[in-house]
Structure 1
Amino acid sequence: MAGQLEVAATRLPAGPFLYRALLGFVCLSAPGLAVEVKVPAEPLSTPVGQTAELSCSYSTSVGDNFALEWSFVQAGKPISASRPILYFTNGHLYPTGSKAERASLLQNPPTGGVATLRLTDVRPSDTGTYLCDVNNPPDFYTNGLGLINLTVLVPPSSPICTQSGPTFVGGSTMLRCSSSEGAPKPVYNWVHVGPSPPPSPGSMVQDEVSGQLILSNLSLTSAGTYRCVATNQMGSASCELTLSVTDSSKGRVAGTLIGVLLGVLLLSVAAFCLIRFQKERKKKPKESYVGSELREDAMAPGIFEQSSMKVDSSKGLLERSPSTSTMTTTKSKLPMVV
């Protein structure tokens, strides 16, 4: 075969493009020189904790240079970001990476045309794209790489129920429900539970994908317990929320009544304080001014002191008090001018 290629090449005019085209045609037509890898066309899915088998088969003439490599890339990332899981070369198997303890080959050595990967105890982080790459130089490659998409199925985790918006009569509010885990992504369904009648269908609008429930035109009958159920093919989980609805008109009346009572209380306290202040002021004694106070028995200057007469009860005579034997005037000390 090599001699035929050399003869064909010497008879052709010079030109690399024509030479490569002829060489490719000869290699494709020669049996056992093409490498072709086959993998499932449909995505695979495996429940969490189970074992996944990623089927990969190939056709080639296995030689001393045969090599097989399995690699993995997380969902949403380019193929160029893939990382090896295991590879087989020179008759030996070499697991590698974070999945080394859980990854193995269904047939080892994989020289019989089967390169299926077995992955035990699958986890949510195992969801992504797996690459089966067969290399057997100098065989010509037609399709030496196969891609398999794997989804690890996870039941929904317990969702969290929340509420936002006013809850008074005539208003609107929103309930939310969300699970942090679940594959495929769960759908959400809200139901009203309890003895009270459910709200009218027109006042309840829910989105099964986002988990939102909008309650409009609230009434007192809208109050009660609401349950959200998150469901996927692996199972379901739920949470509950109790909604209270208040009558705004009653709230305004109650607020006005409370304001009036507070006003009356403040006025009563002010009146009590004022009355007590007046009483304390009346009880307080008057202040005395010593320097400017006049004695009632003081005699004005220029007026004669009157003598006091004492009656001697034994003699029956009137006697003058020694203190009144002399009389003085303020005028006698002043010179008299004629």
Structure 2
Amino acid sequence: MEGMLASLALLCLLLTVANAVTVTIPKPNYEVAKGDNITIPCSFSAVDQTKLILMQWTVRSDGTGAEENDFIYYPDGSSDIPQTFTGRVTVNADIPNGKFNLNLFSVAMTDQGTYKCHLLVKSDTSKSAANTYVLVLVAPSIPQCNLQGKAEYGQNINLTCLSTEGSPAPTYTWQSLDVQNNPRPMDPKTTSNAGILSLYNISKDTSGYYICTSANKIRSAKCNFTLSVMPQILRIMRIMTKTWLKMVMVVGMRRYALHKTPTLRVPLIARMMSTRTKVSVAMTAAATTTTAAATTTTAAATTTTAAATTTTAAGTTTTAAGTTTTAAGTTTTDVATTLIAVTNTVTAKSATMTTVGMMMTDATMTAGMVVRMITLRWALL
């Protein structure tokens, strides 16, 4: 009797095992890029459709902890999809061929987690199920290429390349092209680390195009930077331009302040009038001094001329006295001629100095007119 019971128990066990449904998922892990679509396959052994109660996918997301979402399919063809996944999840059931695939569209980071495929069959106590893990990867975002430093002769600069998104973290590579778009090797002194390209002692030969590629196992993205190394002369011109612009801004601000605040005009005009008076007095004094010097020189020239005339007369008288005296007179006449030449030179210098005095007087008048015009202009603002 006991032997018959043991045999019956073994038979029941064999029947149970024979009726058990085997569920499998081909891979323990799946990787998908954020925003892409994925199909997770699930297959099961032959099952009596009349005993099939339901087929189900259960998702435990890493972002939601213990919370689970179930995607249920019933033998009559109906399904139950959570509202939060409506439009993003579908299930394909092919019972005769033992297929129950899950389709997930526009994958988000919250979709990362553990996915379980299982079937519920009458008389099946094995709770047949299979698990897999879905890892959501993020493709690198389009990197940004920027310059650190000044692109001027002899300087050291950095070109930076950074993608704000990317999982796993992207790696960066740089490529250099000359101004004719021809590939060229990097300078041996150039270093590259974590997207930073360091260039040392740059010159016109450093100018060109630099391309950065940000890549991970999903895909890659690129950015480029055009580097133009500025010659020293252009640097000086740029500094001069900035200085000139600052001066223009200061003058403009002062004019605006005077225009908006009429009370500021009176002190300013007074200062300008005072400055005009000082300039006029100084230039008039200089002109007066020059004129006086010219007058003194003229007087000296007159005295010298008189002396020359007297000497000439003496020379004439001496000539009448005799041959010896005539020679002396001739000599004296030469001296007189020399004195007359000196007189003419001094007279010319006197005329020149007088002209200078007149020119400085004219300059004084002109300066006074300019100051008056400026004063009138500011008074009319």
What do residues 103-128 of structure 1 show as CA deviations (whole Å, max 9, x unaligned)? 333325x4763222234x54455863
1:114 aligns with 2:115: no
Match status 1:146 vs 2:131 = yes
SS at match of 2:72: strand
- The equivalences for 1:160-309 within 5 A come to 160-179=144-163, 187-195=171-179, 200-207=186-193, 210-230=194-214, 237-245=221-229, 276-277=277-278, 279=280
Q: How does 1:34-53 map to 2 (within 5 A)?
A: 34-41=20-27, 43-44=29-30, 52-53=38-39
Read off the aligned partner of 2:134 and give its amino acid letter: N
Q: In structure 1, what is the Cα distance between the partners aligned to 2:283 and 2:178?
A: 69
Give the strand-richer structure, 1 or 2.
Answer: 1
Give the structure with the larger helix fraction: 2
User: Any idea what SS the aligned residue of 1:117 has?
Assistant: strand
SS of the aligned residue for 1:31 comes to: helix
Distance 2:39 2:56 in 1: 16
**Native 8 Å contact 2:59 2:113 kept in 1:** yes
Specify the structure having the higher radius of gyration (Cα).
1
Deviation at 1:40, TM superposition (A): 1.7
The 1-side partners of 2:156 and 2:128 are apart by 59
Judged with a 3 Å threshold, the aligned counterparts in structure 2 of structure 1 residues 28 and 214 are, in CA distance, closer, same or farther, namely farther
Q: CA deviation at 1:218?
A: 3.0
C-alpha distance 143-204 of structure 1, shift in aligned 2 (>3 A): farther
Cα gap change, 1:276/1:228 in structure 2, threshold over 3 Å: closer, same or farther?
Answer: farther
Q: Deviations over 1:142-174 (max 9, x none)?
A: 7623214265796x6543212224545454332
Query: What CA deviation, in whole Å up to 9, does each residue of 1:258-315 have, x standing for no partner?
Result: 99xxxxxxxxxxxx986742646999xxxxxxxxxxxxxxxxxxxxxxxxxxxxxxxx
Amino acid at match of 1:103: V
Q: Deviations 1:64-93 (Å, cap 9, x if unpaired)?
A: 57333224455x547634433x21247442
Count of residues in correspondence between the two structures: 245
2:209 and 2:185 mapped to 1: Cα distance?
12
| Other-structure match for 2:116 | 132
Distance in 1 (alpha carbons) for counterparts of 2:99 and 2:226: 58
- Note if 1:56 corresponds to 2:42: yes
Which amino acid is the alignment partner of residue 39 of structure 1?
I
- CA RMSD between the two structures: 5.1
* Segment of structure 1 superposing worse, 225-234 or 156-165: 225-234
Post-superposition shift, 1:41? 1.9
Distance 1:167 1:112, change over 3 A: same
Counterparts of 1:113 and 1:200, CA distance in 2: 58
> Retained in 1: the 8 A contact 2:117–2:131?
yes
Cα separation, 2, equivalents of 1:276 and 1:28: 126
Corresponding position of 1:66: 53
State how far apart, in whole Å, the 1-side matches of 2:167 and 2:191 are: 25
Matched AA of 1:55: P
Percent identity reads 20
Structure 2 residue runs without a partner (length 5+): 244-272, 285-381
**Structure 1 spans left out of the alignment, 5+ residues:** 9-22, 260-271, 284-338
C-alpha distance in structure 1 between counterparts of 2:147 and 2:15, whole Å: 69
* Alignment partner of 2:73 out of 70, 88, 101: 88
Distance, in Å, in 2 between the alignment partners of 1:69 and 1:30 is 22
**Equivalent position SS for 1:195:** coil
Q: Cα offset for 1:38? A: 0.9
Give the Å deviation of 1:31: 1.7
